[in-house]
């Protein structure tokens, strides 16, 4: 009954606006704008998951709100595992920076790739090493290489930093470098991109990995096999450590959440992707 009353009230307001505009000769665009403001019902989209996707999602939300002021997007950087598990449950939209496992695919989630991201291997700015091969990185993360002087740097025990189990960045990095399940025992496992950057900025012997889009001047992103970690090199395929950014929904997707995802894939959304990542459309 309340819904019907609101609908009738809204219709009456629109009709009143139309009547006034006809009497005063108001232009059609003003009438359309007023009608849209009546129908723009406030709505909150809950988003959660990958901390690597979070910076891009925040940019999406900021730009989207400029034309959809009635939409609020709450973003929770909780890790890909949580984004996949709670898509369609806690979150209307889940975020993942890794492909789904067969078991996760069996949950019937709708997955859409909205960007491609490179994973940057990062070290302290004072470290003289500028490039490592995939084999050398694998050796460092499995414990076969333990000192920087084994890879052309100054002597010093390598402090290996990784993401926590369940992280999309970790899953993709281990798969692409080729050491799934063989991470060095005692490696420092961090729960966020920000924590990894902060730790490496303070430790001259540390090595870690983060989303290419999160690289800043507080750390140094090294080349892989002589290929610089640049968007152009991810695009042309010469930079080999790259993965998808995925958004996930359940079967009952609210119209506003669906519209937000469609916008991410539109020219406007993909223009944001192109600033630091790789467009998919």
Helix (H) or strand (E) holding 45: strand 43-49
Q: Which of 203, 163, 199 is nearest to 183 (CA)?
A: 163
Q: How far is CA 14 from the centre of its chain?
A: 40
**Residues 137-168 pLDDT 10s:** 999 999 999 999 999 999 999 999 999 998 98
> How far, in Å, CA of 235 to CA of 232, rounded?
5
> How far, in Å, CA of 57 to CA of 55, rounded?
5
Q: Which of 100-109, 125-134, 196-205 has the lowest mean pLDDT?
A: 100-109
**Residues 198-221 pLDDT 10s:** 999 999 999 999 999 999 999 999
**Residues 45-57 pLDDT 10s:** 999 999 999 999 9
Judging by beta carbons within 10 Å of its beta carbon (0-12, 13-18, 19+), is residue 43 exposed, middle or buried?
middle
Q: Work out the mean pLDDT of the chain and round it to a whole number.
A: 88
| pLDDT for res 17 | 37
* Residue whose pair of structure tokens reads 């459309």 in the numeric block: 281
For residues 92 and 47, is the Cβ–Cβ distance under 8 A? yes
| pLDDT for res 65 | 95
Query: 180 — alpha (psi -120 to 50), left (phi > 0) or beta?
Result: beta
Q: How far is CA 177 from the centre of its chain?
A: 21
**Residues 67-79 pLDDT 10s:** 999 999 999 999 9
**Residues 161-202 pLDDT 10s:** 999 998 989 999 999 999 999 999 999 999 999 999 999 999
pLDDT at 12 over 60: no
Q: Which of 245, 277, 272 is nearest to 95 (CA)?
A: 245
Confidence of residue 25 (pLDDT cuts 50, 70, 90): very low
pLDDT at 34 over 90: no
Confidence of residue 39 (pLDDT cuts 50, 70, 90): low
> How far, in Å, CA of 208 to CA of 121, rounded?
6
For residues 205 and 85, is the Cβ–Cβ distance under 8 A? no
Collapsing DSSP to helix, strand or coil, 159 comes out as: strand
């Amino acid at each position: 009954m309340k819904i019907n009353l609101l609908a009738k009230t809204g219709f009456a307001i629109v009709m009143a606006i139309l009547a006034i505009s006809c009497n005063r000769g108001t232009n059609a665009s003003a009438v359309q704008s007023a009608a849209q403001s009546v129908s723009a019902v406030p709505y909150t989209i809950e988003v959660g998951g990958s901390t690597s996707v979070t910076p891009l999602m925040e940019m999406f939300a900021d730009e989207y709100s400029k034309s959809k002021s009635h939409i609020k997007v709450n973003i929770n950087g909780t890790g890909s595992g949580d984004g996949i598990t709670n898509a369609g449950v806690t979150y209307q939209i889940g975020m993942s920076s890794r492909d789904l496992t067969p078991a996760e695919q069996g949950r019937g989630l709708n997955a859409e790739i909205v960007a491609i991201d490179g994973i940057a291997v990062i070290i302290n700015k004072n470290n003289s090493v500028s490039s490592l091969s995939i084999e050398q990185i694998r050796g460092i993360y499995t414990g076969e290489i333990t000192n920087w002087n084994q890879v052309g740097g100054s002597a010093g025990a390598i402090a290996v930093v990784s993401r926590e189990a369940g992280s999309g960045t970790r899953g993709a990095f281990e798969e692409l470098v080729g050491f799934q399940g063989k991470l060095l025992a005692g490696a420092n496992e961090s729960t966020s991109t920000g924590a990894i950057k902060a730790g490496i900025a303070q430790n001259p012997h540390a090595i870690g990995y983060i989303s290419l889009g999160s690289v800043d001047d507080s750390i140094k992103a090294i080349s892989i096999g002589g290929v610089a970690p640049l968007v152009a090199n991810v695009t042309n395929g010469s930079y080999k450590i790259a993965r998808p950014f995925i958004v996930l929904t359940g079967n009952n997707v609210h119209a506003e959440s669906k519209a937000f995802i469609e916008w991410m894939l539109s020219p406007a959304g993909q223009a944001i992707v192109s600033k630091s990542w790789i467009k998919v459309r």
